[in-house]
Amino acid sequence: MSSSTTPTTVYGRPVTTDGVPNLYAGSTVTPWQPPVPGIDNLGISSVDTFAVPGVGEYTVPFDGFVRVVRSEPTSQEWSNAEVYTNLIEMKMVGECEELGRITVTLNPSCLSAGQIRTPFDPYAGEGPAAKACRMAVGAIFDMPKLGMKLINKEPIILTIDDVRQIPPAGSPGKGQIYRMLPLHDSRRLEDAPVAYVTSLRFTMGGYISPEKMAAV
Amino acid sequence: MSSSTTPTTVYGRPVTTDGVPNLYAGSTVTPWQPPVPGIDNLGISSVDTFAVPGVGEYTVPFDGFVRVVRSEPTSQEWSNAEVYTNLIEMKMVGECEELGRITVTLNPSCLSAGQIRTPFDPYAGEGPAAKACRMAVGAIFDMPKLGMKLINKEPIILTIDDVRQIPPAGSPGKGQIYRMLPLHDSRRLEDAPVAYVTSLRFTMGGYISPEKMAAV
């Protein structure tokens, strides 16, 4: 299902999908235990705010799915384990009156990549140390009502804190956007940005079924 | 002086250097006024913290210069003006006992780009609205003592707030690093990161002379 375009922009470590099984609804997750490699098919919801200079600021709720391939963990022990991830597919759909229907997918020019590891500034609390999850993403925001596909040239850094299981299904996360993330018209990538993302909050869902994915 | 490699990773809008004059020590800056295009040759200092997994965390002070080309402003009026920037050269040198001497330059595979504009969440206060400055940077951290050149695959987002003049000489700024920014060994870019930047604070200096630049 993922694109065969070779990315020219690589935001992190590549992770192979060769021989890695797809995990759908019904798969189980064990807390505090590094899992064997898998392709996690997960629901996701997000609330993004777009600023269009001179026009206005619009907050749009999105729903959809992501497909994330996970590497072999670097250790069987939770506290030492690092896991590398690539976002290999994404589809989220949202709508607001002014911007119309918006479909968000991955930009095939980018390898969207991330990792899960114990942070250097650990979380407070007893018991095993929770991990930090981060993913750098290149996306396409298709806005047919405006006749534009918008593309980010700085990655969107999605983070989840206090990760106690892999994948961090059900966890809230945040796009680490400082004030504004420029979005460019895909037909005029060298021109000035036409819009900005000013805020992004998301929640990872659980494993979903191929039928639910097809219905997004 | 800048590299002739064509960047494969473009973090923002390209800005031409054709016919744009170099500005050195002695150039003046007028507050609240969008300037004509220029190549700003500015001093810079920075304090970066590096985490090396399993080894330690090291805070290193750097000094050096940047060369930033600025576009024609989109308006002659301060409040409406947007200015696009490319970082076309950088050299900063720092040292600590454990990591030895570190030289930071631009990664020629990346177009390091940014902009200055009025933020959508304006600063409080009276008078003209201060602007926000951001730059997405691909760098090389040369650490000969460790026998490694470290490269970031997510851009380092450098920001300066409360900008009242262009360039924002003398202003403090921050690297918007959420917990950790992965650094890869340039010879093993597809492997796990070998270190992380966990904090970065910088101060833009004023215009400097070609002699001072050559001495860095």
pLDDT at B1: 41
Q: How far is CA A45 from CA A48, A104, A111, B80, B164, in A?
A: 10, 12, 21, 35, 39
Chain A CB contacts of B11 under 8 Å are: 153-154
Taking all residues of chain A, what is their mean pLDDT, rounded to a whole number? 95
Give the pLDDT mean for B72-86: 97
Interface check for A178 against chain B (CB to CB < 8 A): the answer is: yes
**Of A19-33, A115-129, B8-22, B139-153, which gets the smallest average pLDDT?**
A115-129
Give the pLDDT mean for A43-64: 96
Asked if pLDDT for residue A8 goes beyond 70, the answer is yes
CA distance A77 to chain B (A): 15
Q: Would the CB atoms of A178 and B176 count as touching at under 8 Å? A: yes
Interface check for B12 against chain A (CB to CB < 8 A): the answer is: yes
pLDDT at B122: 80
Q: Would the CB atoms of A190 and B14 count as touching at under 8 Å? A: yes
Q: Would the CB atoms of B179 and A153 count as touching at under 8 Å? A: no
Asked if pLDDT for residue A122 goes beyond 90, the answer is no
pTM: 0.95
Q: Would the CB atoms of A190 and B12 count as touching at under 8 Å? A: no
Restricting to B residues 122-161, those with a Cβ less than 8 Å away from any Cβ of A are: 132, 134, 136, 153-155, 157, 159
pLDDT at B128: 83
pLDDT at B36: 98
ipTM of this complex > 0.90?
yes
What is the pLDDT confidence band of residue B11, given thresholds at 50, 70 and 90?
very high
Chain A CB contacts of B184 under 8 Å are: 13
Nearest CA in chain A to B10: A153
CA distance B215 to chain A (A): 33
Q: Would the CB atoms of B192 and A84 count as touching at under 8 Å? A: yes
Interface check for A5 against chain B (CB to CB < 8 A): the answer is: no
Per-residue pLDDT tens digits for A138-152: 999 999 999 999 999
